[in-house]
Structure 1
Amino acid sequence: MITQNPILSTFSFSSVVQFRQNWIRWAFGFFFLAVCLGLVMRSFHVVEIPYFEYRNILHTHSHLALLGWGHLMLLGGIVFGLVKEKDQVKDYKWLFLGTILSLLGMLFSFPFQGYGVISISFSTLHVLLSYGFAYKLLKVIRSIEKTPATRLIRLAIWFMVISTFGLWSLGPISATLGRMHELYFMTIQWFLHFQLNGWFVLGVLGLILLFFEEKGFKITWTAYQEWILSISVILTFMLAVTWAEPRPIFFQINGLAVIIQLIAYSWILKSVFILLNSNQLKGFAQLLLILALASLVAKAILQGLLVFPSIAVISYSIRMYVIGFLHLVLLGAMTMGVSAVAIARGWISEQPISRLGWILMISGFVITEFLLFLQGTLIWLKMGFLPEYNFWLFLASCLFPLSLAFLFAGLRSNEFSNQSISNSKTRLQKRINPETMRKTMIWSMGVLGILLTSCGGGSGESSNSTATEIAPKEEVKADPKGIGEFKTVEIGEGIDETLAASGKAIVDMKCTACHQLNDKRLVGPGFQGVTNRRRPEWIMNMITNVDVMLDQDPAAQKLLEECLTRMPNQNITLDDARGILEFMRKNDEEKAGQRDAATK
């Protein structure tokens, strides 16, 4: 039930406006860098890129997207939405500067070394700074009136803190149990789950409700509804548990959790949809909010389908579904939701050039989500790949950096339109700050480019040495033929072109989303040279008996430790596996100039 309340008083002073604008510019700057790195990742599927290490680009992209854009922008919305005293806002400046420093450290270390001493140090600094933000914001919430908005934001902040427990567990688990242990993967999923489903989703909903509360609307949301929402977020972590321990009881708990979550979401979303009819939001603010709510509804429906165990397994086995779901939360719910509130509050300009940017952003989001979920479904139905799928996905992804270029122009034009800044000295200072920001970001991108073009060989060595240090507590003698049905495979002196052609068709259909035909790692290792490193029996057992190989074969486990992505069972027949082997032999002959060296 929604009723009218007196409008809460607002405040305005130049230093806070300047701080807020700088905060937003930095968030959008990291967003721009993240989408550029994402575009580089997409290009790996389209053309061969020398020197670049895909895994390190992936780590940099994910950290900047989650922490540089999502975390920073949501945190800014909460700080400037909740904190009403000028002096209290200034208290956050050092935390903000430290966060920027930690993000720049991650930007310049992850491309070079992946997970290493420097990048982990900056990541740890970011976690500690987030605790500082959490402490100060929870203290503010304790001192103000408890409303549905502030209770949701408080809950989101606690889930943000809870998510970091997984990060602190990574070191002890990798040191004692190894990076191959199920707990290692579950701790990573712990962080992602509570970041996305707790911190981002509930934080965005809290900001939306806070905006409407300040416009004079009162939303009824009882304590038991808050508890039910909290329980649903906690119990839906069972989906990650089913990946490590696929027992019926865990699937049943996850099924119950998603049903509870659907009920909890319906209570909140019903109120927000009613608020949309209040005419408090217009133009792109209203459009972005509708898209954010539609993304949350789609997320809830998709998670609701996980009550069926067969679908639950597919949801984390098909990579396109995983990426599509992550983007649905980060680009759909978080980006559109927070941006809608920022536009409605006047923090982000709605100039014509900004509108063009949002049109391109929305187009890129809708098209890429459509391609990801469609291609994932085709793989599920064993119908192969869309024609030129990777090219069209790359082309659609080009809309993201283009859209942010226009949005940056809109942010710059907005700096002179804020009527709260009347002092000429402040105006001059505001002209200088965006220029400094722009030069800093250009410098950052230039250094990033130098690092990327110079770190191809070194990063691989670093990753391998790290794996060697952590992994083997005990030496297990690996069977060069692997584990499975294939004990002996006869290969001819030449290449069977018919067999190789049939194998290529299967590789194009089921393998190229994660593997390249060269020696560069994508999600999984490149195929080039595989017949020179592995016996034919090992290759075919890995194709047809992947689960057992990853659980028991030391060579397969080492690959999993390096790639950190479990290869799904594609249900490839024995005959099809022989065709894939023949195609790999032909590929090695063409690319490496040698084949079958492992048999000699």
Structure 2
Amino acid sequence: MIPNNSISPILFDSSGTRFRQNWIRWAFGFFFLSVCLGLVMRSFHVVEIPYFEYRNILHTHSHLALLGWGYLMLIGGMVFGLVKEKDRVKDYKFLFLGTVIALLGMLFSFPFQGYGAVSISFSTLHVLLSYGFAYKLLRVIKSAKKTPATRLLRLSIWFMVISTFGLWALGPISSSLGRMHELYFMAIQWFLHFHLNGWFVLGVLGLILLHFEEKGFKIHWQAYQEWVLAISVALTFMLAVTWAAPQPIFFQINGLAVIIQLVAYFWILKSVFRLDQTDQLLGFARLLLLLALASLVAKAILQGLLVFPSIAVISYSIRMYVIGFLHLVLLGAMTMGVCALVIAKGWINAHSGTKLGWILLISAFVLTQLLLFVQGTLIWLKMGFLPEYNLWLFLASCLFPLSIAFLLAGLRSNEFSNQSISNPKVQLQERIKRETMKKTLIMSMGILGILLTSCGGGSGESTSTTESTPKNEVQADPKGIGEVTSVDLGTGIDASLAETGKAIVDMKCTACHQLNDKRLVGPGFQGVTNRRKPEWVMNMITNVDIMLDQDPIAQQLLEECLTRMPNQNISVQDARGILEFLRKNDEEKAGERDAATK
């Protein structure tokens, strides 16, 4: 155990300001690492990266973004916003230190092993520490005056706890039913749904209302409206249920839920805009808050469209929409909202050192969201891809680490309010603290460099992203399951048919598959006609749901990729064009095609 007297001088001063500064610095540090990893993921569409496991980087990115940046900033806003007694703030120091250790453990384990013993241990530690935060904060809220803000914050904390039930369910489901079972994916969706729509959204709204209540504004929001909002969050989980069981009743419940949620959001946002309270904020604080509220409005409108079952299916079938929606909540509502509040409260000064950082952050968010939603809509309308879409998305994403670098530079230069410290001893301790964090971040960035050169031991065998040969493949029908029982390949490549297939692949497949042998979301296409019979390939395209449920090969691939291939409603004729393009791709890249038919 670390003695109190060795921690307190570094983390705390008499006012608790230093603890808050350190908290914010660590949160922005994890934000920087997460956007760097996100940039690496998007580079897969632009350049070929050897010895690199996309799935492991995806897990690292998502954990640092959700549990590092989002969680730390939101829980920190509640600690420093709700706990008024400065000496009581120190009660959270070990929870904070434990959380940082858990996040660093995930950073140094997920890139190399994905979900393994070490990474799962650190993730479990984070969950347990979050219960400690929840217990302490709920006690503070219980003793505080009951206001719309405190009721919302209490509700958001409970949704954070509820979201973790999905994580605890993963182990039993995986061991008893397997990772390809629908319940396994629904457990993941349980965590994401209640974490984003409950914990993040309601937590940010609660902090916004708390800030204005402290300024003397009266927020008129009745207790029953809190229950309506809670019910809407719970019932909108039906969207995830429709993905696994597309029954009309589940679509109807989800449609009712999003209508209820629109009403609940209207009540909250009306309370904010009615008094024109955003005029109390100036400069970047006001701009960021308006952008956060606009993101919430956009989220509510998008969810409102899900009353139509056809659009509900599209919302989780088109990957650009899924990513865009996640970023709308995490980067739009949560990030912009919390950053607006920390500027408004004087916890961060938006001076010259950070002004460019805020401008670049806003630009990166707006540009990437436009690209994602426009491209997703083009796919929906079957109009193909924007010219150089992946390159433009990569370039726009480059603004994220650049913006956070400017903000971190401002934080390291101590551009905080009320930070003037005249005691030389305290100045020395603060300088030691900054150097310690600097070294930790440099070591963390070193992980990214190591990943580009040595991830997987350099041989490429352990991180190969092509389809592995399942152990139970011999038990499967090599032609798969579906109406395609025989395919006439002809003597060569039909160039016209291959061109038709290429257009469909560009429109519907390249978001998850690459044309080389590297896995992106799904396995790379290179060599597929040498491993799989043409009938199996076409049945996988046209009869994907049955194949994933009954075909052993498809189930094994699902277990490896952990992402269920959506039903794109592709006809047999179009699937034949895709097969022809895959044959041509294998001939060009693998030097051989149709080996599975020999």
Length-normalised TM-score, structure 2? 0.94
C-alpha distance in 1 between matches for 2:420 and 2:210: 22
Deviation per CA, 1:349-408, whole angstroms, max 9, x where unpaired? 211231111111111111111111111111111111111111111111011011111111
Aligned to 1:270: 270
Aligned to 1:295: 295
The DSSP-based 3-state class of the residue aligned with 1:480 is: coil
Deviation per CA, 1:241-261, whole angstroms, max 9, x where unpaired? 111111111111111111111
What amino acid is the match of 1:243? W
1:111 is displaced (CA, Å) by 0.6
Cα 1:38–1:514, aligned 2, differ >3 Å: closer, same or farther? same
The DSSP-based 3-state class of the residue aligned with 1:233 is: helix
Check conservation: 1:113, 1:462, Cα contact below 8 A: no
What amino acid is the match of 1:480? P
C-alpha distance in 2 between matches for 1:574 and 1:17: 65
Cα 1:151–1:475, aligned 2, differ >3 Å: closer, same or farther? same
Residues matched between the structures, number: 584
C-alpha distance in 1 between matches for 2:543 and 2:39: 34
Query: What percent identity do the matched residue pairs reach?
Result: 82
What amino acid is the match of 2:266? S
Check conservation: 2:278, 2:286, Cα contact below 8 A: no
Cα 1:97–1:172, aligned 2, differ >3 Å: closer, same or farther? same
C-alpha distance in 2 between matches for 1:416 and 1:516: 46
What amino acid is the match of 2:301? I
C-alpha distance in 2 between matches for 1:576 and 1:419: 64
Deviation per CA, 1:224-243, whole angstroms, max 9, x where unpaired? 11111111111111111111
Check conservation: 2:32, 2:404, Cα contact below 8 A: yes
C-alpha distance in 2 between matches for 1:548 and 1:29: 45
1:134 matched to 2:134: yes
C-alpha distance in 2 between matches for 1:523 and 1:556: 15
Cα 1:416–1:396, aligned 2, differ >3 Å: closer, same or farther? closer
Task: Spell out the pairing of 1:185-334 with structure 2 (5 A cutoff).
Answer: 185-277=185-277, 279-334=279-334
Deviation per CA, 1:171-207, whole angstroms, max 9, x where unpaired? 1111111112111111111000000000000100111
C-alpha distance in 1 between matches for 2:119 and 2:451: 14
1:158 matched to 2:162: no
Check conservation: 1:463, 1:562, Cα contact below 8 A: no
What amino acid is the match of 2:594? D
1:543 matched to 2:541: yes
Check conservation: 1:55, 1:523, Cα contact below 8 A: yes
C-alpha distance in 1 between matches for 2:543 and 2:436: 56
Unmatched segments (≥5 aa) in structure 1: 1-11
| Greater displacement, 266-275 / 223-232 | 266-275
1:221 is displaced (CA, Å) by 1.7
C-alpha distance in 1 between matches for 2:506 and 2:228: 45
Aligned to 2:120: 120
Length-normalised TM-score, structure 1? 0.93
Aligned to 1:4: none
Check conservation: 1:349, 1:411, Cα contact below 8 A: no
C-alpha distance in 2 between matches for 1:62 and 1:275: 37
1:429 matched to 2:429: yes
Check conservation: 2:354, 2:406, Cα contact below 8 A: yes
C-alpha distance in 2 between matches for 1:415 and 1:310: 50
1:219 is displaced (CA, Å) by 1.2
Check conservation: 1:495, 1:586, Cα contact below 8 A: yes
The DSSP-based 3-state class of the residue aligned with 1:517 is: coil
1:487 is displaced (CA, Å) by 1.3
1:57 is displaced (CA, Å) by 0.7
1:288 is displaced (CA, Å) by 0.3
1:275 is displaced (CA, Å) by 4.5
What amino acid is the match of 1:131? Y
C-alpha distance in 1 between matches for 2:383 and 2:64: 35
Deviation per CA, 1:474-520, whole angstroms, max 9, x where unpaired? 99931001112221212234333333233222222221111101111
The DSSP-based 3-state class of the residue aligned with 2:280 is: coil
1:103 is displaced (CA, Å) by 0.5
Deviation per CA, 1:48-73, whole angstroms, max 9, x where unpaired? 11111111111111101100100111
C-alpha distance in 2 between matches for 1:162 and 1:460: 39
C-alpha distance in 2 between matches for 1:381 and 1:78: 43
Aligned to 1:497: 495
Aligned to 2:62: 62
1:576 is displaced (CA, Å) by 2.5
Check conservation: 1:52, 1:455, Cα contact below 8 A: yes
The DSSP-based 3-state class of the residue aligned with 2:475 is: coil
Aligned to 2:9: none
Aligned to 2:179: 179
C-alpha distance in 1 between matches for 2:398 and 2:425: 39
Check conservation: 2:378, 2:385, Cα contact below 8 A: yes
1:81 is displaced (CA, Å) by 0.7
1:415 is displaced (CA, Å) by 4.5
The DSSP-based 3-state class of the residue aligned with 1:435 is: helix
Check conservation: 2:13, 2:19, Cα contact below 8 A: no
Cα 1:112–1:15, aligned 2, differ >3 Å: closer, same or farther? farther
The DSSP-based 3-state class of the residue aligned with 2:492 is: coil
Aligned to 1:564: 562
Aligned to 2:361: 361
Cα 1:522–1:144, aligned 2, differ >3 Å: closer, same or farther? same
C-alpha distance in 2 between matches for 1:299 and 1:78: 23
Check conservation: 2:379, 2:508, Cα contact below 8 A: yes
